[in-house]
A and B are shown apart, each in its own frame.
Chain A
Amino acid sequence: MSSFASMSENIVIIGAGQAAAQAVQSLRAEGFDGPITLVGDEAYPPYQRPPLSKAYLLGTFERPRLFLKADSYYAEAGCDLLLNTSATAIHRAERSVELADGRRLPYDKLLLTTGARVRRLACPGADLPGIHYLKTIADVDGLQAVFQPGKRIAIVGGGYIGLEVAAVGAKRGLDVTVFEAMDRLMARAVSPGISAFYQAEHEKAGVKLRLRTGVEAFGGDGKVEWVKAGGETYPADIVLVGIGVIPCDELARQAGLGCEDGIVVDQNARTGDLHIWSAGDCTRHVGREGHAIRLECVQNAIDQAKHAALAMTGKPKTYSEVPWFWSDQYDLKLQIAGLARPGDTLVQRGDPAARKFAVFHLRDGKMAAVEAVNAAPEYLIGKKLIAEGKPVDAAKLADTSIPMKTLG
């Protein structure tokens, strides 16, 4: 290594997802001109995951469009891509990353964007062929091969992934049954009114919903043929499991970095090691409301990566962006900003029957979160009001005769 560290500094990024692509772009935009090496264990450079369970599965969004950057981008940006490569250890004392083939990559600064992996079922028969998960391009390609009209698909989990696949399945003419252990859909993510609205929409599309129904076992001769849930047996040709994700924090944990269901980072996306930052689904940070949170979303991947790049180039800025999420099911665009909490005062604007409405969550007289269905103005103004933190008028928010734009 040169002794002129500031002139020859290099950055290694582990994990090649949305946060990594953003970090490369932001590091260059912030003026970092040293070498960047991006290590990813999939066969592909960073790509968008949100379309995987939506348009890509439906077949209306072709694979090249998934990639976040053009093939030529990384070379042009001076970023070395090491794909199909996993990192096996971080040697913090000598500042290097060990790869599966034994090679060691020295770093001056390290960014961990390792993301999350799917949570797997452990019930009897859970390893039978025909049971699918959805996280990667390879996962969807495997599912697509059997995702044909008339097939019976059992979906385990009524969250975003399960319901997006259910919507695509219904559209494609599959026979869809969703099993959800809780008493309502998307229970972790949305308020009860939104759950009820989506339940009705799925039922209208012919999706069979089995709420309060946990899956107990799978069985079949050489491949999955039935699902046992709530004491009953359901025949199935395909099973898709969408029951959440687990942060990929093993590498960090083994290296002695603080981890609590996610790599713990500060508001500049830095870990407890002065040379190591982390961003995206794999992290846990203190959110704008003062609680330690782990976010699984594009927004956090983008914004936290931007903040990591700022800090890594010596311009740290406190990360306090409002989290946002979206889900596409049928012709319904669900957009959410902020984090709702039990006890929030709910204010509805618009009529669910018109398939265009919003639910605002007020806390201490201020906007805390917004859930909008086909209601972009409500979403955008709601998000702005959350960021501003000023008192809001519940009666006006509920009054659709007052244009949304005048309320922000």
Chain B
Amino acid sequence: MAQKYRVTYIEADGKPHTIEVAEGWSLMEGAVKHLVPGIDADCGGACACATCQVYVAPDWADKLPPKSDMEETMLDFAPDVKPTSRLSCQIRMTAELDGIVLHLPKSQH
């Protein structure tokens, strides 16, 4: 089994959910496979729907790989986009991200 690391998803109303996500999986997959509401990911992670937006605090954002052109393009179509917005289907879990905190938008649509 792959190593697992902790991720905390915080709903728009402040409710936190801490779960374990296997190395190599996307942060979107971690949320949808558990009872974390607020990430829809309708397309299953194909970077094709922009319904898995999260906000990443700057100290964690520095540890993430830069956005691809595809992610930039898709984010343009998500609601309530901020400078800290990312699509969680495009971020893979690594040891360096152990303990990462992600804030969820009010709605993905």
Contact = CB atoms under 8 A, between A and B. Distances in A.
Interface of A: 28-29, 48, 50-51, 64-65, 67-70, 72-73, 76-77, 298-299, 302, 326, 328, 333, 335, 376-377, 379-381, 405
A68 B32 contact: yes
Interface stretch (B59-67, B69-77, B96-104): B69-77
Given A50-B44, A69-B34, 18 more contacts: A28-B35, A29-B37, A64-B22, A67-B33, A68-B32, A70-B34, A73-B35, A76-B34, A326-B43, A326-B46, A335-B48, A376-B48, A376-B70, A376-B73, A376-B77, A380-B50, A380-B74, A405-B77
Contact of B35 (A64, A67, A77, A379): A77
A379 B48 CA distance: 9
Nearest to B50: A380
B5 interface: no
B59 to A, nearest CB: 28
11 contacts: A28-B35, A64-B22, A69-B34, A73-B33, A73-B34, A76-B34, A333-B46, A376-B47, A376-B77, A380-B50, A405-B77
Contact of A69 (B33, B43, B77): B33
A298 B48 contact: no
Nearest to B22: A64
Contacts of A72: 34
Closest 7 CB pairs of A and B: A70-B33, A380-B77, A48-B44, A69-B33, A70-B34, A376-B73, A326-B48
Contacts, number: 52
The A interface, classified by DSSP as helix, strand, loop or mixed, is helix
Interface string B19-35: 00010010001001111
Interface residues of B, number: 20
A81 B46 CA distance: 28
- Which of B29, B44, B73 counts the most A-chain CB atoms under 10 A from its CB? B44
Given A376-B73, A377-B76, A65 B46 contact: no
Contacts of A302: 42
Given A299-B42, A302-B42, A76 B29 contact: no
Contact of A377 (B29, B42, B46, B77): B77
A64 B47 CA distance: 20
A298 B70 contact: no
Interface of B: 22, 25, 29, 32-35, 37, 42-44, 46-48, 50, 70, 73-74, 76-77
A326 B43 CA distance: 9
Contacts of A76: 34-35
Contacts of B46: 50, 326, 328, 333
Nearest to A403: B76
B72 to A, nearest CB: 10
Contact of A65 (B25, B37, B73, B74): B25
Contacts of A376: 47-48, 70, 73-74, 77
A73 B73 CA distance: 33
B77 A333 contact: no
A380 B70 CA distance: 13
Contacts of B76: 377, 405
A28 B35 CA distance: 10
Contacts of B73: 376-377
Given A69-B33, A376-B73, A377-B77, A333 B42 contact: no
B42 A68 contact: no
B78 to A, nearest CB: 10
Contacts of A48: 44
A176 B34 CA distance: 40
A381 B50 CA distance: 12
A380 B44 CA distance: 16
Contacts of A326: 43, 46, 48
A185 B32 CA distance: 34
Which of the listed residues A50, A298, A376, A381 has the most CB atoms from chain B within 10 Å of its own CB? A376
B44 A298 contact: yes
A65 B29 contact: yes
Contacts of B22: 64
B33 A51 contact: no
A299 B43 CA distance: 8
A336 to B, nearest CB: 11
Contacts of B43: 298, 326
Contacts of A68: 32-33
B91 to A, nearest CB: 15
